[in-house]
């Protein structure tokens, strides 16, 4: 059974870069896309983006976040990462990593437990 686990700082200073890592266990990263999704406290889900297991140019980002987002993958360590630059309080959220199944459409069949990131000085 595939399992995902997020890790990274729980507190980030405004204007700095938020960095998170997701470790995948119990399965291979190959043939899948790997995604980040966030949820501000008390609000709904927002897709951030995803990347194909082989990285390269196979990635998609939410247009509203594209200028600040970088997602990368390290299959040798079964990990993928999120960098979100120039953060503000509006970026405070629970951040989830998830496996994306893409075949003419996209859905997320395995999720991490989520990690709360607070943006505050």
Residues lying near other proteins in the complex (CB under 8 A): 35, 44-47, 50, 60-63, 96, 101-102, 104-109, 111-114
Q: Distances in Å between the alpha carbon of 28 and those of 1, 2, 32, 66, 102?
A: 10, 8, 9, 27, 16
In the complex with other proteins, the residue whose CB is nearer, 35 or 79, is 35
Closer of 7 and 62 to other proteins (Cβ): 62
The nearest distance, CB 13 to other proteins, in angstroms, is 27
Contact 108, 99 (CB under 8 A): yes
Q: Which residue has the tokens 């990347």?
A: 51
- Measured from the CB atom, the residue of 1 and 76 that comes closer to other proteins is 1
Taking Cα atoms as reference points, which of 82, 65, 91, 96 lies closest to residue 13?
91
- In whole angstroms, the minimum distance from the beta carbon of 88 to other proteins comes to 21
CB of 113 vs other proteins, minimal distance in Å = 6
Bridge partners (DSSP) listed for residue 60: 50
């Amino acid at each position: 059974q595939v399992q995902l686990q997020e890790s990274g700082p729980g507190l980030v200073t405004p204007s700095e870069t938020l960095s998170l890592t997701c470790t995948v266990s119990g399965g291979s990263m190959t043939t899948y896309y790997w995604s980040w999704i966030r949820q501000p406290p008390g609000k709904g889900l927002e897709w951030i983006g995803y990347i194909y297991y082989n990285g390269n140019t196979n990635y998609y980002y939410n247009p509203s976040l594209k200028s600040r987002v970088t997602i990368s993958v390290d299959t040798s360590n079964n990990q993928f990462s999120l960098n979100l630059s120039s953060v503000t309080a509006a970026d405070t959220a629970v951040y989830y990593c998830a496996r994306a199944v893409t075949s003419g459409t996209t859905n997320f069949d395995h999720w991490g437990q989520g990690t709360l990131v607070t943006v505050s000085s």
